[in-house]
């Protein structure tokens, strides 16, 4: 696989290009040296100038390569630091997400417990829904959570009214019982008076009987 296909970072592409150019220049210098005849003790001026020119180009590439390499190292360090910070942020978000999932499961459990709770109001002997809505048809469109308190309040008022009526009836009953007791006492007294009167007539009855016999 070619190196060009492996390096995709735009910050590293110049370094790769400079490396390739430096390698090519090095190969060019080596090829030039190989093409020269056996080097005499004293190279010609032309050979010296050509070699010097090739070395300058190579040194320029090497200097450029060192600078780009240094920048690439610094960039890699910065990228590593950014990556570490990003990983920490991802870890923090994952932990936060796990906490949210835990809270969601807890709340769903609480909601399920509330929905399944055997509320006392479900056992109240309320009027049926149809009977209630027949009394208050304007409440037919209300949701259950708003309708149920109204039904309970209506039932409370009805029971309070019935209790008030019961107390009034108890008062009337007590008054009737007292009146009945009073009349019984009066009748008893009258019975006693009549018995006394009858007992008082017994001597007269006996005298009359004696007179009739004689």
In order, the DSSP letters of 111-173 are HHHHHH---GGGGS-PPPHHHHHHH-GGGTTS-HHHHHHHHHHHHHHHHHHHHHHHHHHHHHH
Among residues 94, 116, 138, the one where a domain terminates is: 116
Among residues 74, 89, 116, the one where a domain terminates is: 116
Q: Are 67 and 34 in contact (CB under 8 A)?
A: no
Co-location of 205 and 145 in the same domain: yes
Co-location of 7 and 95 in the same domain: yes
Q: Are 12 and 72 in contact (CB under 8 A)?
A: yes
Q: How far apart are CA 47 and CA 54, in angstroms?
A: 11
Co-location of 145 and 163 in the same domain: yes
Question: Would residue 191 count as lying in a domain?
Answer: yes
User: What is the reported pLDDT for 79?
Assistant: 80
Co-location of 111 and 133 in the same domain: no
User: What is the reported pLDDT for 102?
Assistant: 92
The count of structural domains within the chain is 2
Co-location of 89 and 27 in the same domain: yes
Co-location of 140 and 203 in the same domain: yes
Question: Would residue 42 count as lying in a domain?
Answer: no
Among residues 83, 116, 149, the one where a domain terminates is: 116
Task: Kindly indicate the confidence band of residue 177, based on its pLDDT and cuts at 50, 70 and 90.
Answer: very high
Question: What range does the domain containing 110 cover?
Answer: 3-36+47-116
Question: Would residue 137 count as lying in a domain?
Answer: yes
Co-location of 66 and 140 in the same domain: no
Co-location of 24 and 107 in the same domain: yes
Co-location of 77 and 169 in the same domain: no
User: Cβ atoms within 10 A of the Cβ of 151, count?
Assistant: 20
Co-location of 30 and 99 in the same domain: yes
Q: What is the mean pLDDT of residues 83-102?
A: 92
Question: Would residue 193 count as lying in a domain?
Answer: yes
In the predicted structure, residue 109 carries a pLDDT above the cut 50? yes
Task: Kindly indicate the confidence band of residue 43, based on its pLDDT and cuts at 50, 70 and 90.
Answer: low
Question: Would residue 28 count as lying in a domain?
Answer: yes
Question: Would residue 22 count as lying in a domain?
Answer: yes
User: What is the reported pLDDT for 8?
Assistant: 58
Compare 171 and 27 and report the one with higher pLDDT.
171
Compare 49 and 9 and report the one with higher pLDDT.
49
Question: Would residue 195 count as lying in a domain?
Answer: yes
């Amino acid at each position: 696989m070619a190196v060009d296909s492996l390096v995709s970072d735009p910050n590293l592409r110049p370094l790769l290009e400079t490396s390739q150019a430096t390698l090519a220049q090095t190969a060019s210098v080596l090829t030039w040296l190989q093409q020269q005849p056996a080097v005499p003790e004293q190279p010609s001026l032309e050979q010296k100038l050509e070699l010097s020119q090739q070395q300058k180009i190579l040194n320029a590439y090497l200097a450029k390569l060192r600078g780009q390499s240094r920048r690439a190292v610094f960039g890699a360090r910065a990228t590593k630091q950014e990556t570490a910070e990003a990983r920490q942020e991802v870890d923090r978000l994952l932990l936060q997400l796990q906490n949210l999932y835990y809270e969601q499961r807890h709340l769903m459990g609480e909601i399920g417990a509330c929905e399944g709770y055997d509320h006392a109001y479900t056992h109240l002997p309320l009027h049926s829904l149809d009977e209630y809505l027949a009394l208050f048809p304007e409440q037919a469109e209300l949701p259950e959570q708003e309708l149920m308190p109204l039904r309970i309040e209506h039932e409370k008022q009805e029971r309070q009214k019935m209790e008030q009526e019961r107390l009034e009836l108890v008062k009337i009953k007590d008054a009737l019982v007292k009146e009945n007791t009073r009349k019984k006492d009066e009748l008893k007294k009258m019975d006693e008076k009549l018995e006394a009167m009858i007992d008082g007539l017994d001597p007269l009855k006996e005298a009359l009987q004696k007179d009739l016999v004689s």
